[in-house]
Amino acid sequence: MKRISFCLFMLMVCLWYKNVLAQQVDSKLPRLLIRLDDIGMNHSVNMAMLKAAQTGMPLSASVQFACPWYQEAVEILKQYPNVTVGVHLTLTSEWKNYRWGPVTGRTAVPSLVDSNGYFPQSTRAFAKSGYKLSEIETELSAQIERAQASGLKITYIDPHMGIMLSTPELRALTEKLAHKYKLAISTLSSVTYFGETYKEMWGEPIATKKEAFLAYISKLNPGKPNMMVLHTATPGPEMDVLVDMNSNMMNSKDGKPLTSLHRQTELNALLSPEFSAMIGKKFQLINYQQLLAGTDISILKPVDNK
């Protein structure tokens, strides 16, 4: 009985997805990419991705294969071909009392870990850590190879917290890894490889986040692919207590963590009827696999995105 119910559910998802794509026949509409970041970080983040994937919308999901919950993310993503998967290259562990370290182990990449064997807790700490490029290459190669061995089709890589595109040397190494593993590179702000514009809702106040999201996607650039990066999560004890060690705006003045509320609000905006109503009318919704169709990624190079 459970199997029959699951099959009926998947049929409904496929029909919804087919209907969404059928609406996107006007090639003059702007193209919108939704990328969900930090997948695999914890169960709450994975459950938010599941809710988004179940809509059938074409999405892209950047998975942190160094994080404790990546295996659950893999199980979910195998069920949803509407979601294109990338590796969220991870070299920081940015939460108070919730940490992770390198796939290769602390002794293999000692310049990348603190005294407890974890990645640094901030981009500033990483920059001052005395990291070795050779060890970064070792670790990120291991993350990509773990991803490819998971059974998922991996399409792109992108930098968690922007680190791997933050200096010319790190950017060159990112491009080297992309060439080595025949993967695309998803954009970060002004650093782009397929001409995408870039926007994220991370820094928008909770009270105005949904409004700002809907306003932005209603006026997209028709001449370029438009990337919107979202950080989503469902509410729960593990998410609600996380304190961000990089940004004061993710905590209230009295120290209460706000990250969970930020991520819930972004998820609600994505799942809102207002967003659904715009698909096929204000924009074409695509994922990275669709964007890259027919593209030769072997000649990958940065594009001026001014």
Contact (Cβ atoms closer than 8 angstroms) between residue 85 and residue 152: yes
- 59-63 and 83-89 as β-strands: parallel, antiparallel, unpaired? parallel
Which tokens sit at 2? 């459970």
Domain count, the chain: 1
Q: Is residue 221 part of a domain?
A: yes
Show the beta-strand stretches assigned E in the chain: 31-39, 59-63, 83-89, 154-159, 184-185, 197-200, 225-230, 284-286
Show the beta-strand stretches assigned E in 29-170: 31-39, 59-63, 83-89, 154-159
- 154-159 and 83-89 as β-strands: parallel, antiparallel, unpaired? parallel
Q: Is residue 213 part of a domain?
A: yes
Contact (Cβ atoms closer than 8 angstroms) between residue 92 and residue 120: yes
Q: Is residue 12 part of a domain?
A: no
The rounded distance, in Å, linking the Cα atoms of 175 and 95 is: 28
**How many other CB atoms sit within 10 Å of the CB of residue 264?**
21
Q: Is residue 231 part of a domain?
A: yes
Domain limits for position 281: 30-297
Please indicate, yes or no, whether the overall pTM of this predicted structure exceeds 0.75. Answer: yes
The rounded distance, in Å, linking the Cα atoms of 91 and 175 is: 16
Q: Can you give the pLDDT at residue 4?
A: 54
Among 197, 177, 193, residue whose Cα is nearest residue 185: 193
Q: Is residue 22 part of a domain?
A: no
For residue 211, what is the enclosing H or E element? helix 206-217
Which residues pair with residue 86 across a beta bridge? 62, 156
Q: Is residue 204 part of a domain?
A: yes
Q: Can you give the pLDDT at residue 16?
A: 46
pLDDT string in tens for the chain (306-residue length): 545 554 454 445 444 444 444 444 456 899 999 999 999 999 999 999 999 999 999 999 999 999 999 999 999 999 999 999 999 999 999 999 999 999 999 999 999 999 999 999 999 999 999 999 999 999 999 999 999 999 999 999 999 999 999 999 999 999 999 999 999 999 887 789 999 999 999 999 999 999 999 999 999 999 999 999 999 999 999 999 999 998 888 988 888 999 999 999 999 999 999 999 999 999 999 999 999 998 887 766 777 555
Contact (Cβ atoms closer than 8 angstroms) between residue 34 and residue 275: no
> Which residues, other chains included, contact 153 with Cβ-Cβ below 8 Å and sequence gap of 6+?
85
**How many other CB atoms sit within 10 Å of the CB of residue 160?**
23
Which tokens sit at 54? 């179940």
Q: Is residue 21 part of a domain?
A: no
Which tokens sit at 131? 């990291």
- Dihedral sign, Cα of residue 254, residue 258, residue 91, residue 173: negative
Q: Is residue 48 part of a domain?
A: yes
CA dihedral 201, 202, 203, 209 (to 10 degrees): 40
- CATH number, domain with residue 146: 3.20.20.370
> Which residues, other chains included, contact 19 with Cβ-Cβ below 8 Å and sequence gap of 6+?
none
Q: Can you give the pLDDT at residue 255?
A: 82
Q: Can you give the pLDDT at residue 6?
A: 45
